[in-house]
Amino acid sequence: MKKKRLLVGVLAVLSAIGAAAYADPKPIAPDAKVYIIWPQDGQVIPGGKFWLRMGLSGAGVAPAGIEKANTGHHHVLVDTDLPPLDQEIPNDKYHIHFGKGQTEARLELPPGKHTIQLLFADDVHVPHNPPVYSKKITIIVPP
């Protein structure tokens, strides 16, 4: 009997984890747009250190953990494609979270050709419905 209760408990935890991985995307205004103000597509950035400036229209910025209609926060995708849009955005060197509500950030990239794209997401880092993401741009950091 004790083993059965333990198994039921483990299954409940696994079920909850699975439900969190695939969240229902929160709605956002259909005219919401996110865009990169600076740098511009094709920009050459000597030294690789720069201020990324992120723009948003048709919605508001709110920190992670604050659930408020028609708001979210920025995520920057570096050298990667969009992640699954019905799941929490990964948090790693390719998916940078700005959960404090930042609209600009200092980035540093090594020499080479890089892509940058913005993905806006809700209070729990899940993209909205419809998803709001920018055009992917390319920047070059000379050796």
Query: What 3-state DSSP class applies to 19?
Result: helix
Res. 12: pLDDT tops 90: no
- Residue 22 in this model has a pLDDT that exceeds 90: no
Tell me the residue length of the chain: 143
Task: Provide the pLDDT confidence category of residue 128 given band limits of 50, 70 and 90.
Answer: very high
Q: Would you tell me how many other CB atoms lie within 10 Å of the CB of residue 96?
A: 17
Domain count, the chain: 1
Q: What is the pLDDT of residues 78-123, one digit of tens each?
A: 999 999 999 999 999 999 999 999 999 999 999 999 999 999 999 9
Parent domain of 9: 2-141
Q: What is the CATH number of the domain that holds 41?
A: 2.60.40.10
